[in-house]
Amino acid sequence: MQTSPAASAKVPAWPRVFLALLQEANPDYRLNRNARGRFTECLRPLGPVSYSQNTVCIRGQYSHGFAVTLTDQVNAHLNSPFWAGARFDHNHTIFCAFEKDLGATVRGAGRQAGLHSTHARRSGADAIVRQCTANAEQHLAPHYLAQLQRGAPLLMGILELLMANPGLLDDQDFLSAHAHPLSDSRDLSWRHFASPPDEWTRFGVDLPKVLAASCKSKFAPHLAQFETIYGRLQRIASVV
């Protein structure tokens, strides 16, 4: 996620401009102070989750992504089990999300309008941000929330294991016994929890241990938030 300063330059006023446009749609959006440098994120709390409208600046262009997230933390991973959608991923903008995650038509006849999601400070950009924001909240948010709900039980199982055994992620005996070379371990995301890969079935009841040990880097940054996130997952899982 690192680029040269020239490639990642962000106009200092951009976070304020971006927030003001989002607050036109909903005044509950707030800047996430954990997002710095080329990253900008505005979060809207909604029950147990937050809507994330986020941008990553590359060569003066702001790639606009959207996620439904359980955390306000920002780390080096583009994918995570702790949010559904995209945070700071210029290859998974709102435009791409409609195509990849919803299977919507985004090109040619019959395409969904208002999905242009690479912004620059130019005439008409404000209207584009507004339309992008509205499309994400209307169409992507329900899909991502449903994905988090499907994956909640498995993620809760892992958090239960880690909360009951403090220090487990630093226990070399545990890591050696349960870590496996999973094909998706470095890219573990909400998709895997919503639709577990077939290869996971061989681990049976040990799956939470295997995922915790094999994907330590995905869980360790959120250690201080485990109890809070677990409570949020409980609320999500209880929705009928």
Q: What is the pLDDT of residues 115-124, one digit of tens each?
A: 676 766 666 6
Residue 42 buriedness (CB in 10 A; 0-12 / 13-18 / 19+): buried
Amino acid residing at 89: D
Asked if residue 183 has pLDDT above 80, the reply is no
Domain segments of the chain as ranges: 14-144, 151-237
**Which residues is 64 bridged to in the sheet?**
55
Note the pTM of the prediction, 2 decimals.
Answer: 0.90
What's the whole-number mean pLDDT along residues 53-59? 92
pLDDT at 240 over 90: no
Note the pLDDT tens digit of each residue in 198-210: 999 999 999 999 9
pLDDT score at 12: 84
**Which stretches of 72-140 are DSSP H helices?**
94-100, 125-135
Task: Indicate whether 41 pLDDT > 60.
Answer: yes
Q: Give the pLDDT confidence of 81-136 residue by residue, as tens digits.
A: 999 999 999 999 998 999 999 987 777 666 766 667 676 666 668 888 999 999 99
Helices (H), the chain: 14-25, 94-100, 125-135, 141-164, 172-178, 190-194, 207-214, 216-219, 226-237
What pLDDT is stored for residue 6 in this prediction? Answer: 44
User: Would you state the pLDDT for residue 23?
Assistant: 97
Average pLDDT (43-66) is 94
